[in-house]
Structure 1
Amino acid sequence: MNFDAFENPQTKRFQRKVTLLSAGGTFLDGFDLTVIAVALPLITHEWDIGLGEKSLVTSSAIIGSFIGAALLGNLTDRFGRKAMYVVDLLAFVIFAALTAFSQDVWQLIIFRFLLGIGIGADYPISATLVSEFASKKGRGKLSTSLGAMWFVGAAAAYLVGLAVAPMGDFAWRALLLVGAVFALIVFILRVQLPESPRWLIAHGRVDDAANVVEKITGVRPTAAEIAEDTGPKKMPLSTLFVGRQRNRTLFVCGFWFCYSTAYYGISMYTPTILAPFTDGSQVSVIVGSGIVALLGLAGSLIGMNLVDSWGRRPLIITSFAGLTLALIVLASVVGPSFGFLIVLFSVAVLFANSGGGILNFVYPTELFPTALRATGSGLATSVSRIGSILGVLAFPNLVAAWGNNAALWVFAAVGASGLVICLFMAPETKNRSLEDINAEEGVAHV
């Protein structure tokens, strides 16, 4: 089916709606994954937990997201974008609320793990739905706005942390409970959206797809356009690992793995790293970490406004180059000041998020065919979560064994690896339809 009608100005309002509700999910991802960094010092004070338990509290949601992305991305290709798009928000509501009322550290770890399953699922679901409704000229900006909203959620975690700080021992529980309230609002609004017409065509429901296109654009596809794709297009999972599609899979998984390892390893422990430089002031820790998070958000907004004009390839290469250089400087300085750490961490996350942190919502949905789009995106998300888990678990142990500087050299090497991957493998896909991108590589398309 011809999707040129999605270029119609009439569709822009609907595309913004889909993007906003999808961005609500990524906002929650950013909030729920970051809020534990804000809450951890308070939880540690209340329960007196050790290093191993701290690592599990920090990483449990990320481990859950690995499973959610790997399993539910495939279910999204099988049962529909909308069904999973709504259902996964239930996990946010239920388990975010349960974490707030955990009675011991192991309950918190379990509920955070289950929350993480929903978080991991939302990445491929939301990104896929946005890309399939977007116009080819505006797809980059709409998709990267999901990444930008992740960092809005991360920054919001610090702002809410400041707001609830006067609540004392209940502060960390209030922090976690706010995530459940946000999720309930997004869940109610998501129910109203239609199914993706591209998914409907891939499953032989051409008339239903035509009805959705007509409702959105005001133009019903002609019989000739409908006839272009009249039957289901199913592909085995092995398609992702054959020929040129294999290179695309390796690229998406590779750069996202490197980004997540470096970003999560640093960002999840920013409050912990800054704490020794603040004379015990929790407010200073939150403010300093919040500044870093806000600069990360600024980086994502910069990238969002460059992705469709400058292009995907130069943006992601510049992103990894800046991240790597900032980490090298951080690793090279012994005895840094509080201000120096904030500036360099801010520069690192600004560059990281201007490319790697937002193009992980673009490249996966562009480089995988419709029949495997959510599956491929889910695979890439799950691989990235391995990087996140390594970053979160490795960093405190590297610091304990070798010190901050040696740990930062390890992450600088990871950033450099991402740069090499992008230099040799990153394609340019701006201003091209999803069908054209996949047809170019000889991938059967819908």
Structure 2
Amino acid sequence: MATTPDASVAPIEDTSLTGFYKDMTVPEKRTFWACATGWALDGMDFMIYPLVIGTIIKMWNVDPGTAGLAGTVTLLASAIGGWGAGFLADRIGRVRTLQLTILWFSFFSLLCAFAQDFNQLLVLRALLGLGFGGEWAAGAVLMGETIRAQYRGRAVGSVQSGWAIGWGMAVMAQAALFSLLPAEEAWRWMFAIGALPALLVLYLRSYVKEPELAAEARARDAARGDHPSILEIFQGPILKVTVLASLVSTGCQGGYYAITFWVPRFLTTERNLSIVSSTGYLSALIVGSFLGYLAGAWFADRYGRRSLFLVFSLGAIAVILAYTQLPLSNQLLWVLGLPLGFFASGYFSGMGAFLTELYPTRLRGSGQGFCYNFGRGIGALFPFLVGYLSQTTTLANAICIFAVGAYALFFISAYALPETRGKVLHADG
């Protein structure tokens, strides 16, 4: 891995969005593309269920709150899987953990295609969630430690944009399969497609290497007989970091899931669009999301991670209020999908780098895995709560209440943490 001068903050010479890529080493580029592909397929796997939730509700006669429970259970399980995978990454390595988690969630996505009732689907989605959460934890640490400090924000953020591509892949698969097949068959093929990430493991095994930084830290701890405890992130001065970073993650993910999980249903019920005709509206949201990831990646290196969170959380609050509360025509709603996707997604570009930079190397997997996936676990309640509240008010109101509350928490907790832009990582700290 390329090294930087021994300094606490690395200089950022080329601040353009794509300037980092031409100067990356071969190992950095291989890791970049492996993680970008992983995130895309991860996003595709997760977004399949929100896209077929209407079919599930109708086919198995479940209410929206119960249907939302499957999304909640997936995210709750991902919180456990993410923390466990983060700890495992500190013990057996980032790359090996990444391979295991990808194989896990690919296998259970395939099994979802054979579910015979909602209870079976609920269990399978929970098991899928364990690997889904673990993949992010291992991949984010791998990226953060492989990419040099001056490029980390843009590289990790650009990789994060793969989620929007995966979301787009899921929407295109939905449009094609629901056009060609009866809904009772199409949803099963959607889940079967979710097994594709397993192919990525072949590339990981052949071309992606463990970061020298992490390997050195594990070797040093092994020589001392001082392996990190899974509870060490809750001790001493690290505890404050863990608490605040967990709240940041809760706010950013709670808002995101409240919006993205239920907007497809909002379009087909309260806006009376068919599944196929809603594709254009979701496409606007996805394009905005993709642009938001890229802009957020540039913003994180140019102005800082914390500034990114503050600006985008306020933007998300403003747009979701307009999207759900103003009497807009469908045409205007389509246009507003671009800034909604932009602000409701772009801040994720700074999360991976930010959490990587908050923790010392020996605890990075555990700390990053716990904080991000704690947020996922609490944010997991939002799909269920939105669905439950929508039984007594409009779905638009339910989405708005939980999304705005989450983004307010995101703003406040991010403001309380320090800026980490350009921080150089070391094996001993």
TM-score w.r.t. structure 1 length? 0.85
CA distance in 1, matches of 2:40, 2:152: 19
CA distance in 2, matches of 1:119, 1:185: 16
Q: 1:423 to 1:172 in 2, by over 3 A?
A: same
Q: 1:240 to 1:73 in 2, by over 3 A?
A: same
CA distance in 2, matches of 1:93, 1:396: 27
1:263 CA drift (Å): 0.9
Match of 1:316?
309
Q: Are residues 1:204 and 2:219 paired?
A: yes
CA distance in 1, matches of 2:273, 2:396: 22
Q: Are residues 1:420 and 2:412 paired?
A: yes
CA distance in 2, matches of 1:10, 1:420: 36
Q: 1:265 aligns with which of 254, 258, 261?
A: 258
Q: 1:431 aligns with which of 418, 422, 426?
A: 422
Match runs of 1:35-434 below 5 Å: 35-165=48-178, 166-168=180-182, 169-181=184-196, 183-192=197-206, 193-204=208-219, 234-279=227-272, 281-330=274-323, 332-333=325-326, 335-355=327-347, 357-404=348-395, 406-407=397-398, 408-425=400-417, 427-434=418-425
Match of 2:4?
4
Partners of 2:69 and 2:383 within 8 A in 1: no
Equivalent residue letter for 2:173: V
1:195 CA drift (Å): 2.2
Match of 2:39?
26
Partners of 1:299 and 1:354 within 8 A in 2: yes
Equivalent residue letter for 1:191: R
Equivalent residue letter for 1:388: G
Partners of 1:202 and 1:231 within 8 A in 2: no
1:405 CA drift (Å): 5.2
Match of 1:216?
none
Show CA shifts across 1:240-275 (max 9, x none).
234543332233211110011111011101111111
CA distance in 1, matches of 2:394, 2:231: 43
CA distance in 2, matches of 1:405, 1:112: 26
**Structure 1, 324-333 or 6-15: larger mean CA deviation:** 6-15
1:106 CA drift (Å): 1.9
Please state whether the residue corresponding to 2:390 is helix, strand or coil: helix
**Structure 1, 336-345 or 39-48: larger mean CA deviation:** 336-345
Q: 1:132 to 1:28 in 2, by over 3 A?
A: same
Equivalent residue letter for 2:345: N
1:2 CA drift (Å): 9.5
Equivalent residue letter for 1:433: V
Please state whether the residue corresponding to 2:302 is helix, strand or coil: coil
Partners of 2:75 and 2:129 within 8 A in 1: yes
- What percentage of residue pairs aligned between the two structures are identical? 24
1:234 CA drift (Å): 4.3
Partners of 2:288 and 2:337 within 8 A in 1: no
Partners of 1:203 and 1:232 within 8 A in 2: no
Show CA shifts across 1:275-302 (max 9, x none).
1355452212232123212211211111
Aligned length: 412
1:104 CA drift (Å): 2.0
CA distance in 1, matches of 2:69, 2:29: 37
Show CA shifts across 1:321-370 (max 9, x none).
1012223334543x443334444454233113222x22221111111111
Q: Which runs of 5+ in 1 are unaligned?
A: 207-228, 436-443
Partners of 1:203 and 1:231 within 8 A in 2: no
Show CA shifts across 1:72-123 (max 9, x none).
2111111221221111111132111111122222222221111111110011
CA distance in 1, matches of 2:396, 2:181: 36
CA distance in 2, matches of 1:70, 1:370: 16
Higher relative contact order (CA 8 A, sep 6+): 2
Partners of 1:68 and 1:121 within 8 A in 2: yes
Equivalent residue letter for 2:415: L
Q: 1:341 to 1:243 in 2, by over 3 A?
A: farther
Q: 1:132 to 1:232 in 2, by over 3 A?
A: farther
Partners of 1:370 and 1:445 within 8 A in 2: yes
Please state whether the residue corresponding to 1:85 is helix, strand or coil: helix
Partners of 1:155 and 1:290 within 8 A in 2: yes
Partners of 1:265 and 1:391 within 8 A in 2: yes
**Structure 1, 229-238 or 402-411: larger mean CA deviation:** 229-238
Q: Are residues 1:445 and 2:428 paired?
A: yes
CA distance in 2, matches of 1:144, 1:307: 8
CA distance in 2, matches of 1:385, 1:260: 6
Instruction: Answer with 1 or 2: which has the greater Rg.
Output: 1
